[in-house]
């Protein structure tokens, strides 16, 4: 006689354990899918921000002209040669105020730079100070540097570095923003970059060079290069 056996059946406890295991596996799979989706969303967000930043840089840093070449290529900001310089009055490191109007009748070279914390910027002033005979020969009658920061700290830095020229304190970047000098540097728009502005006796801009923008973010230019670029790009 052949014995027939009934198929094994799961007890209640076993069925509950199996259901819990299935639910746990489903939850884990769902969590993995969520992590993958979050990671993908983060990557897309980073790429989007990068694209927007590149667009922003190209729009604010985009210029109607450029000059120089190689390592010391420069951009030319929107308020450039042929346009009337914007009047301003700023505190100076020698005390009192200096206005652009007071310099009318002279050829003035302005150097806008990043300021405190950027030693190459101060080295630039040092070498320009030493090269005043060459600047004079190039037609420059007044040389002034402009940067943000309190006038007292800028004056202290000028003394510490033995710099002889006059520096102006554009503490809140009000003047720099009007000239858009804060759009060509490595600090976003919170500081100036490395820009030169030559203003003629009649108040007309004769030459502009914004060296501090992307991709090189130049913080120092040899004086010979500055003079050569000024000679090549200067307008009558």
Q: Which range has highest mean pLDDT (1-10, 61-70, 102-111)? A: 102-111
Q: What per-residue confidence (pLDDT) applies to 53?
A: 35
DSSP letter string, 89-150: EEEBTTSSEEESGGGTTS-EEEEEE--TT-HHHHHHHHHHHHTHHHHHHTT--EEEEEESS-
Q: What is the pLDDT of residues 154-183, one digit of tens each?
A: 999 999 999 999 999 999 999 999 999 999
How large is the angle between the packed helices 119-130 and 223-233, nearest 10 degrees? 70
pLDDT digits (tens, 9 = 90+) for 203-223: 999 999 999 998 889 999 999
User: Model-level pTM?
Assistant: 0.72
The stretch 136-154 carries a mean pLDDT of 97
């Amino acid at each position: 006689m052949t014995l027939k056996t009934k198929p094994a059946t799961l007890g209640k406890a076993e069925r509950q354990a199996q259901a819990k295991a299935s639910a746990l596996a489903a939850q884990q799979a769902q969590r993995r899918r969520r992590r993958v989706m979050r990671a993908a969303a983060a990557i897309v967000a980073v790429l989007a921000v990068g694209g927007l930043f590149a667009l922003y840089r190209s729009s604010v840093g985009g210029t109607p002209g450029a000059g120089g070449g190689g390592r010391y290529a420069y951009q030319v900001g929107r308020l450039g040669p042929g346009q009337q310089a914007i009047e301003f009055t700023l505190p100076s490191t020698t005390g009192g105020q200096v206005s652009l109007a007071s310099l009318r009748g002279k050829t003035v070279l302005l150097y806008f730079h990043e300021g405190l914390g950027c030693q190459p910027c101060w080295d630039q002033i040092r070498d320009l100070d030493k090269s005043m005979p060459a600047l004079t020969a190039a037609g420059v009658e007044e040389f002034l540097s402009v940067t943000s920061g309190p006038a007292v700290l800028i004056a202290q830095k000028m003394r510490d570095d033995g710099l002889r020229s006059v520096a102006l304190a554009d503490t809140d970047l009000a003047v720099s923003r009007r000239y858009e000098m804060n759009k060509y540097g490595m600090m976003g728009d919170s500081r100036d970059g490395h820009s030169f502005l030559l203003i003629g006796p009649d108040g007309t801009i004769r030459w502009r060079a914004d060296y501090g923008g992307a991709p090189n973010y130049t913080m120092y230019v040899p004086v010979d290069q500055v003079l050569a670029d000024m000679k090549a790009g200067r307008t009558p």
